[in-house]
Structure 1
Amino acid sequence: MPQAKPPDPIPGARLLFSLDPGVSHLNHGSFGAVPVPVQRAQQRLRDEMDANPMRFFTAGLHERVAHARRHLAAFLRTDSDGTEPEGSALVANATTAASIVLDTLRLKPGDEIVSTDHGYGAVSMAIARSCRESGAVSRVVPVPLVSRDEDVVDAVRAAVTSRTRLVIIDQITSPTARVLPVRALIKALRGTGVAVFVDAAHAPGSVDAVPGADFWVGNLHKWAFAPRGTALLSVAERWRGRIRVPVVSWEDGTGFPGALEGIATTDYTGWLAAPVGLFVLRTLGVAAVRRHNADLAAYGQQVVGAALGLDPGALPEPGGDDPIPMRIVPLPARTCPDYEATVALRQRISDELLAEVAINFWNGRGYLRLSGQVYNRAEEYERLAERLPALLRHM
């Protein structure tokens, strides 16, 4: 593995955020951070709503939501040519979308859902509940942390049987920061009748969307600078008339996507302000931000890994053709023997080192996940690397 170097900061980018300067925010991947211009745009919308709630909710609100959705869908291009924004709907997040998709399938006893052991925890919980209630079966495919794309496709394809109804695959995995071969898997399953759901929670703003899935969802509040609670669910045409809406509201009769987006008196201001996040991203330069963040995450991984005595070659690579803004560092086994220990360690790092990180417990081991974002600097990772070993020794 070549020695990573920190990228040059993007001029002015750090000033766009209102984050506490006394804390190293190295976990953008969990909850994101909303730029000040987006915060202000949302506040103006809230002021408008509170100045005249009747007018806000009854005078063209759903047309405004649809306009915002079309803007976001055109940027993400989740369909084959980017010309079908009516094939997408705004939802709260990827976890919400997973439950919508599972409910839509109307699973029966003996039906099967195939996923990998790199899946997001809340989605795995949704699968488990759906199987308990329907009698369906969950088949989890183990994928080694380091594996070739073709081996991943072969393993998932081999798990598919005549009873498989749905395959769920992450575009970028949350616990392991891996890029999975979504495009190749969609191609491998084409013509089988098995639906493919791509959980692309970390894709918008960091990598391109992958078209061709039956269902694709991406959170815009992580890497696309939208307010939290903003995600786009793209649905293939054959499924749109069958989408099961979890909340029946006055828009129910409009069908997809309006029935999903019409949630009575919810706060729509985040969705309406989301295009401002894309404006900020484009102003900074989409390609420049992606490269900066990926390079910074790689640098942080190497600096922290070296401090823990790990050989650079032992640090997991994300794989795939697109660099991503997250990397993981394996932690000593004694420090994270179980999930509860990872929670405790993350809290101690926050309290004692004034650094926010993600720590995931995956396949019996703890992994520290570092993110890179335009507000981060190399010295934040260096400071964590300097102080983390002593904390781990005292665990």
Structure 2
Amino acid sequence: MSAGDPQPPEPIPGARLLFSLDPASAHLNHGSYGAVPIGVQRAQQRLRDEMDADPMRFFTQGLVDRIVHVRRHLATFLGADPDGSALVGNATTGAAIVLQSLRLGPGDEVLVTDHGYGAVGFAVQRECRRTGATVRTIEVPLTASDDEIVALVRAALRPGRTKLLMVDQLTSPTARLFPAAAIVATAREHDVPVFVDAAHAPGMLPVAVDALGADFWVGNFHKWAFAPRGTALLVVAPRWRDRIEPLAVSWQQESGFPLRVEWQATLDYTPWLAAPTGLFTLRSLGVDRVRAHNAALAAYGQRVLGEALGLAPADLPDPGAPGVSMRLVPLPDGLVSTVDDAQALRLRIADALGAHVAVSAWRGRSLLRISGQVYNRAEEYVRLAQRLPQLLGALR
């Protein structure tokens, strides 16, 4: 071990006690579903109790104003215009809303990268089938530099035909931070609208959404900002707001964006209303402190797992910036080749080793993704590293 090797950070005192996670498992995959602090769970339960005690009053007296208040709170945290933002269930829902609002047609195309989230890819395919548009994929090597990524995007743009470029701010299958600002600027030069899928950004990364300048931006608060699941913010540039339509029409349709998107009749709004408690928890721990802790822990976990699998430091994918709290560890070639294979291996690791991780099959490569969060400890990664090689060896 050299002096430059990633080392585990000091735990944040008391942070682990804020969560109700089962101690029988090492929860090393915060990036997939997050974890809701106990205080936020209780805040949401109080809201549920209020709703169920008097549903008529809850839904008809002041609920819209409460939603607007939460939206302003979350948008301000992200540096986004509250009047151009809408609360939605998750990033995939935000993508579907934007896609069906574009009014695509034959001859149009949506441009994506091969690092995109699978469910968003399904949404693109469905909208293209429905409208006669096409989808085209930019292949971006895992080791591409920021300049190379921007160059690949620039070369793929077809002004006049490319009606939307969809790019991730931090990719899900490959845990790579893309140069979103440079990509947006490049697309703007060619008058191509950009949708930034920032599912993992709120809470993990310092972002200033309006300064980024994307036409559409969506981020989940239920991953790294400690909100209840089902809380995300869709931000839309001024020139597009009048065109945004909800997936289902309800009683705020005539109010325009964003209320027409947010109000979905008897939806359970308690996750949104409890989301500020999640931000309060994050701020109480110290936003910068949490970010630094999580990124350092993920880097340490990547190192010890890589060493256990016989990988050199150069074999471990660079996340694109030191502040990323998710890291990749390549697994032996041919171990998984399909989504079902990846799911089966993930479940086997969980059952046999007591550790939750993410596994993906990406461009023929088998990739394991880990996260770092304030409830994790260095020994959880070490324990997985000690046992993982034997399990993988038995599968080959």
TM (normalized to structure 2)?
0.97
Shift of 1:135: 1.3
Q: Are the counterparts in 2 of residues 295 and 325 from structure 1 also a CA contact under 8 Å? A: yes
Shift of 1:287: 0.3
Give the match for residue 373 of structure 2: 373
CA distance in 2, matches of 1:263, 1:208: 30
Deviates more, 1:181-190 or 1:369-378: 181-190
Q: Are the counterparts in 1 of residues 196 and 217 from structure 2 also a CA contact under 8 Å? A: yes
CA distance in 2, matches of 1:139, 1:148: 21
CA distance in 2, matches of 1:305, 1:70: 43
Q: Are the counterparts in 2 of residues 30 and 222 from structure 1 also a CA contact under 8 Å? A: yes
Q: Are the counterparts in 2 of residues 114 and 156 from structure 1 also a CA contact under 8 Å? A: no
CA distance in 2, matches of 1:34, 1:77: 23
Aligned residue type for 2:341: A
Give the match for residue 270 of structure 1: 271
Give the match for residue 360 of structure 2: 360
State how 1:240-389 maps to structure 2 within 5 Å: 240-320=241-321, 323-389=323-389
CA distance in 2, matches of 1:246, 1:187: 29
Deviates more, 1:40-49 or 1:331-340: 331-340
Shift of 1:86: 0.9
The alignment-based identity, stated in percent, is 62
Give the match for residue 47 of structure 2: 45
Shift of 1:111: 0.3
Shift of 1:303: 0.4
State how 1:8-23 maps to structure 2 within 5 Å: 8-23=10-25
CA distance in 2, matches of 1:332, 1:260: 45
Pick aligned residue for 2:37 from 35, 38, 46 = 35
Q: Are the counterparts in 2 of residues 343 and 359 from structure 1 also a CA contact under 8 Å? A: yes
Shift of 1:339: 2.8
Aligned residue type for 1:30: S
Confirm whether residue 193 of structure 1 aligns to residue 195 of structure 2: no
CA distance in 2, matches of 1:336, 1:169: 25
Shift of 1:154: 1.0
Give the match for residue 28 of structure 2: 26
Give the match for residue 95 of structure 1: 92
Give the match for residue 167 of structure 2: 169
The SS at the match of 1:246 is coil
Give the match for residue 81 of structure 1: none
CA distance in 1, matches of 2:33, 2:260: 27
CA distance in 1, matches of 2:142, 2:354: 29
State how 1:53-64 maps to structure 2 within 5 Å: 53-64=55-66
Shift of 1:340: 2.3
CA distance in 2, matches of 1:226, 1:213: 24
CA deviations over 1:11-61 (Å, ceiling 9, x no partner): 110000000011100000000000001000000000000111100000010
CA deviations over 1:271-323 (Å, ceiling 9, x no partner): 00000000000000000000000000000001011101101121001114x51
CA deviations over 1:308-347 (Å, ceiling 9, x no partner): 1101121001114x51100000000132233322111111
Q: Are the counterparts in 1 of residues 338 and 361 from structure 2 also a CA contact under 8 Å? A: yes
Q: Are the counterparts in 2 of residues 338 and 365 from structure 1 also a CA contact under 8 Å? A: no
The root-mean-square deviation of aligned C-alpha atoms, in Å, is: 1.0
Q: Which runs of 5+ in 2 are unaligned?
A: none
CA deviations over 1:206-234 (Å, ceiling 9, x no partner): 01224210000000000000000000000
CA distance in 1, matches of 2:377, 2:342: 25
Aligned residue type for 1:12: G
The SS at the match of 1:123 is helix
Aligned residue type for 2:184: I
Runs of 4+ in 1 over 3 A off after TM superposition: none
Q: Which runs of 5+ in 1 are unaligned?
A: 79-83
Q: Are the counterparts in 1 of residues 104 and 131 from structure 2 also a CA contact under 8 Å? A: yes
The SS at the match of 2:223 is helix
Aligned residue type for 1:18: S
Shift of 1:165: 0.5
CA distance in 2, matches of 1:277, 1:337: 37
Confirm whether residue 179 of structure 1 aligns to residue 195 of structure 2: no
The SS at the match of 1:374 is coil
Q: Are the counterparts in 1 of residues 329 and 367 from structure 2 also a CA contact under 8 Å? A: yes
